[in-house]
Structure 1
């Protein structure tokens, strides 16, 4: 289900809210708000309106509004949740866009002086009159997503996580309300810290379960993270269903096979969902409809489609930041590549088939962004802190969380207990050696249940299709989709380039497949601590983006940018009507002591400058 919204602020127009009888003004701005209901929450109080995507775990509507009235723009410091919101304060004449600590839901903004646009989708129709961003296009083709602060259109940018962004006369003034303090100075033994983490994990999961009204489902793999959630959810006493992705004929060591054993260990119902059903064009179309150019390609889009047909649920997933490489990645290029960041060199093979001007412009635009991220990373001394910083600033908000927001959310609300603010603060102070290889987390799992690691880890995911083979066998249907309509991307990556790549694919021989598997196995062994001690750090080799991966990214992006010919219909498809009968800007929700009633522990002294 769509869970998007857009806010337009205009100094020159007399706009009105879709649900208001009179034009609405906030300071100098006339306001227009479009939302997808009921997935987007709209709360009103006297002179105050909040539009939010996501969920809060420690406050209800009245509590949030009272928190804002008490603390003003500092209120996010005291809020636990996974959200992106816009706050319109008529009394103060101020507008704020607010992002959560990790960037669970991205907001994109553009400020033209007299007009400000804020939307939760990078391909929102309000942005589409702008030129394409070559840096953003390059980011999608190289990394799979919008990394390094890029967007699809010039003049549009993602709003930084953990910040309050106030709309000013000429730009948005951003104030960071939280940052991860990397002092790693926690006192205590590893056993004590493991016990502390186990308690934090229990509390975080319990809080999210308490806020979950629907059935609980867990995306269960064969690794450490999701089995920890399995144990923690089992403790709550709620019924939990688990699922995993699979392809026919998967081996015994795949995620699905191990997940089934784990679910059986705790007596939970487990479902194996087919990741890909064989229709490449349909899979590409789902990535277009759901990803919107904001998220990496979903190999499992067919599985999410099937799961969504069973009704909405509360989805628990295991994104985390307590795993650092062991040994540390001392090579900067390796560090960046590990976080899905590479230079345009990874697509250098395109230079032979693209016009030099198009290739060079896109290369230079993306490489400028890449070098900026690299320079910022060099400013962090310890390579393990470099990894943690890149994970928080790039990989999570630019790749992993948009993927969850766009695909897992087709099933329902997405909960990420391991990204709770108290757990994040714990990560900042725990000694780095306990984060290497998830050492402290694995010990915490043993605290939760000594039998949790009895089932071995999965050896392979087992659900990713051979996309090269799929493109070869279905290329005529794919090419028919390209020729069916034009796209703004054609001016950068022409249909002729796509056709050359598509029809230039050749089957991989069995020998080449085995050699690739062997190189991968040797590479994994080479990075083990013993090999590093004996032979020194492994030499980083830049991994090229292969042709099938490029095609998946380019074809999805092409259709995202094409949109539909009818902008009005496209906007209607994106946004449902808003039904706020009984609410108005003049009819407040009673506040009084509601904050004290909902969360008395969230009443610290009023902050002063």
Structure 2
């Protein structure tokens, strides 16, 4: 994918960094389809940028330093260019101060030639991935973790962490800075590293640690409105394509982009299903038609299983297999979908956000499962197939991890909803949503305006009572676009449906593919912790279940007692949250991230594919 590769020598040995940098660059997914921009400083530092013609990037190689970036960093309100980069570094600020003064979505690297020091930074959301590791001779930075396989010839021997395997089983994505290799870390949002002759130092320059200010709801609605409008001015020139669903976030962008006069079309999609009005895509078209925006529909085809399997493999290689949704969504659309968009549009716009996640919470465990950082005893499948000792180790690991992650939010007097939204910013947004975005960036520039800096600043200052369930954002959108948010005639997308995984499993080639990954030729780390006696029957049974239409939406008959109870609970978020917690703990209700057997089996298949890549070293 597009990004910066850097090899920084430690000045202990006479080892040239250039050959290593070239090897890693060649290992990047579809590297042959990208352009390359390079800078080398003697044998001590080699920097490469992979990019497409339409990508935003830059490299300045001066007498004192090399600075490289991908994305759209802003310095003092101006887009970073070679001129502004020189100005920034000649201003007398050190690299850390310069990084703190940047805004926008980017990855950035600064190398000081005389000192042999390198600084690499991720933005506040980690929209552009950076991974790093060390050897005795150099520090390596790359946008793709699996490209580090090139270090084998240097004697580098990484190990796979069982904790990462447990995280993936639980959440479908990795937490914090974890990768499947224990020796490799991912650069966290709002962080930078300093490296050179000494060991890598990790520093934080910004965190979503909430600092609520005084103000009523109307005050913060106005603040958010002004921030969003100002951030939208940063959208680049050119023609955009908005991915439009029935959800609130893309719906809001539809209205905002239309009002601003942005040149754009909208696209909705489905996986294995034709277009229907009573679907997510149907709701998207309904609102696009309402604002007279051209709407397109794309169907992810399952009819050629070999193509589906090939796309899944590519997605795992490109993203390191760190998120199952890349395979279960982006790969099922296929690379051709994004190539098609890239031919006709300059960039893709998405409604990714951190407005404030889910209900009010009553304790920290609830915060973790609301953000999908589950323990393996909070949903049923792992107990069916893990060896007893592995299951117990996984529970102990989750407990230790939650304790460690809770300590990250060191804010005296902070309330639980602030903690929950911090966990969402630190773990779910960068590790799930942005990992999905990484794959899209292999083909087309990805823009998420609701994650720009001014908007983040307002969310950071808003009291938690305004953030719960996206309340502040929704109040703003209802007032600005009542035709989009107060329409009682929109189609119902929640009617009966067939699970897309059940539909996939009707193809023998897909069933054989999943079985081969998990049963016939499983990776070692699957064999070590899974109980084959119990696991294989569960896999076979799940693969062979006939598709069933889910009973939801219009098929559910109204229950007056349940309706009355629901209305009563909705009057007080605190009571509703306590009832929700009690029902989950007593097995009367599923956690929000509870997977069904079919989706969980697919997750395990992706895990096995990823582990094959890491074990094949």
- TM (normalized to structure 1)? 0.80
Give yes or no for the alignment of 1:300 onto 2:329.
yes
State the partner residue of 2:16. Answer: 14
State the partner residue of 2:33. Answer: none
Give yes or no for the alignment of 1:131 onto 2:159.
yes
Which of 129, 147, 150 is matched with 2:175 structurally?
Answer: 147
CA distance 1:132–1:9, change in 2 (3 Å): same
CA distance 1:514–1:14, change in 2 (3 Å): closer
Q: How many Å apart are 1:250 and its aligned residue?
A: 6.0
Give yes or no for the alignment of 1:104 onto 2:104.
no
CA distance 1:197–1:564, change in 2 (3 Å): closer
Cα pair 2:195 2:201 within 8 Å, conserved: yes
State the partner residue of 1:397. Answer: 430
Q: How many Å apart are 1:132 and its aligned residue?
A: 0.4
Q: How many Å apart are 1:385 and its aligned residue?
A: 0.7
Q: How many Å apart are 1:388 and its aligned residue?
A: 1.6
Distance in 2 between residues matched to 1:42 and 1:126, nearest whole Å: 25
Q: Secondary structure at the match of 2:223?
A: helix
Distance in 2 between residues matched to 1:552 and 1:161, nearest whole Å: 28
Give yes or no for the alignment of 1:559 onto 2:588.
no
State the partner residue of 1:43. Answer: 59
State the partner residue of 2:104. Answer: 81
Alignment deviations for residues 65-115 of structure 1 (CA, whole Å, 9 cap, x no partner)? 422332222112332221122221213421011010122123222234543
Give yes or no for the alignment of 1:31 onto 2:73.
no
Give yes or no for the alignment of 1:119 onto 2:142.
yes
Cα pair 1:55 1:83 within 8 Å, conserved: yes
Distance in 2 between residues matched to 1:434 and 1:369, nearest whole Å: 29
CA distance 1:415–1:436, change in 2 (3 Å): same
Distance in 2 between residues matched to 1:526 and 1:478, nearest whole Å: 44
Cα pair 1:472 1:503 within 8 Å, conserved: no
Q: Secondary structure at the match of 1:537?
A: helix
State the partner residue of 1:68. Answer: 89
Cα pair 1:84 1:98 within 8 Å, conserved: yes
Q: How many Å apart are 1:342 and its aligned residue?
A: 0.7
Distance in 2 between residues matched to 1:6 and 1:444, nearest whole Å: 41
CA distance 1:432–1:368, change in 2 (3 Å): closer
State the partner residue of 2:500. Answer: 466
Cα pair 1:9 1:115 within 8 Å, conserved: yes
Q: How many Å apart are 1:499 and its aligned residue?
A: 4.3
Question: Matches of residues 482-561 of structure 1 in structure 2 within 5 Å?
Answer: 487=523, 489-490=525-526, 492=528, 499-505=536-542, 507=545, 525=566, 529-530=570-571, 537-538=579-580, 539=582, 540-541=584-585, 543=591, 545-561=595-611
Distance in 1 between residues matched to 2:466 and 2:89, nearest whole Å: 38
Q: Secondary structure at the match of 2:484?
A: coil
Cα pair 1:151 1:158 within 8 Å, conserved: yes
CA distance 1:21–1:432, change in 2 (3 Å): closer
Q: Which consecutive unaligned segments of at least 5 residues does structure 2 have?
A: 23-35
Question: Matches of residues 107-506 of structure 1 in structure 2 within 5 Å?
Answer: 107-124=130-147, 125-126=149-150, 129-167=157-195, 169-180=197-208, 182-187=210-215, 189-208=216-235, 211-213=236-238, 215-247=239-271, 248=273, 252-278=277-303, 279=305, 281-282=309-310, 284-298=312-326, 299-301=328-330, 302-303=332-333, 305-312=335-342, 313-326=346-359, 328-346=360-378, 349-351=381-383, 353-356=385-388, 358-361=390-393, 364-374=396-406, 376=408, 381-406=414-439, 408-456=440-488, 459-460=492-493, 465-468=499-502, 470-471=504-505, 473-474=507-508, 475-480=511-516, 487=523, 489-490=525-526, 492=528, 499-505=536-542
State the partner residue of 2:29. Answer: none
Q: Which consecutive unaligned segments of at least 5 residues does structure 1 have?
A: 568-609
The one of the two structures with greater contact order (alpha-carbon pairs below 8 A, sep at least 6) is 1
